[in-house]
Amino acid sequence: MKVLSSLLIIFLFAYNNRSFAGPPFKTDDPIPVLYLHGELYLFSTGIFDASGANGVGPALEFNYGILPNTQFHIVLPLSFSSPKHEPSQIGYGDTEIGVKFRFVKQTDILPDIAVFPLVEIPTGNAAKGLGNGKAQVYLPLWLQKDFGKWTVYGGGGYWINPGPGNKNWEFTGILIQYNFTDDFFLGTELFHQTQSSLNSPNNTGLHFGGGLPIVKNYQILFSADLGNGITSYKHFSYYLGLYHTF
């Protein structure tokens, strides 16, 4: 119980202590897909800064409930890289696979708690800026608590990021979301990530986004980070996707 209380404290105050993630945000939630159900995302996400642009799209994310409280996850991306003053590149990127396992279900007192280890398989061409060149591993912990129509979730993890010029790095995020209906929500995310390479900056930022229903079991998901002036790293990033559950 002491350990769970400590985790809850970390969850609620993570932003004071310091991806692909939970669409449309960088921060993920601990809720796996229901057993024998699935979800599909057709999406694009990218970042534009002084060095140029890079991202993925179109990309396909597939999640499936393989066991109770356990979700299989895979992302198959078409990547793009457009550095300033160099030729643009497009091609298949690094494949992401993982398993989300919720080991604590939410009660009146406790939050949902899950682990979601991911592996980035180096299937993209690193020489063209379409992949990392080495396998990466992400080890996060996610928590969530619901309060009526409000949802708060967050946590963070550690990226193992080998390769020349790369650095292992950390991500922490917290998100507050208002659920107008089961299919219509708006949220704000505060996150921080440390350097992932010798030349990349630390980044603290805000994301604003949400989900809009189209027809039954379909949503448009969106978010954007305008740079916000929180750090000196000036950029624009976005996520735009079509979501389907079955």
- Encode pLDDT of 130-156 as tens digits: 999 999 999 999 999 999 999 999 999
Give per-residue pLDDT as tens, 55-69.
999 999 999 999 999
2-245 domain in CATH 3.30.43.10? no
Give me the residue spans of the domains in the chain: 2-245
Q: Within its chain, how far is the Cα of 149 from the centroid?
A: 22
Most confident of 129-133, 201-205, 229-233: 129-133
φ/ψ of 27, rounded to 5, equals: -75, 140
Q: Please, which residues have CB within 8 angstroms of residue 42's CB and are 6 or more apart in sequence?
A: 58, 59, 60, 241, 242
Task: Give the contacts of 13 (CB within 8 A, at least 6 positions apart).
Answer: none
Q: What average pLDDT score do residues 74-82 get?
A: 95
How far apart, in whole angstroms, are the C-alpha atoms of residue 189 and residue 109? 23
Please give the Cα distance from 175 to 100 (Å, whole number). Answer: 19
C-alpha distances (whole Å) from 147 to each of 78, 150, 176, 212 are: 38, 5, 11, 21
Position 204 scores a pLDDT of 87
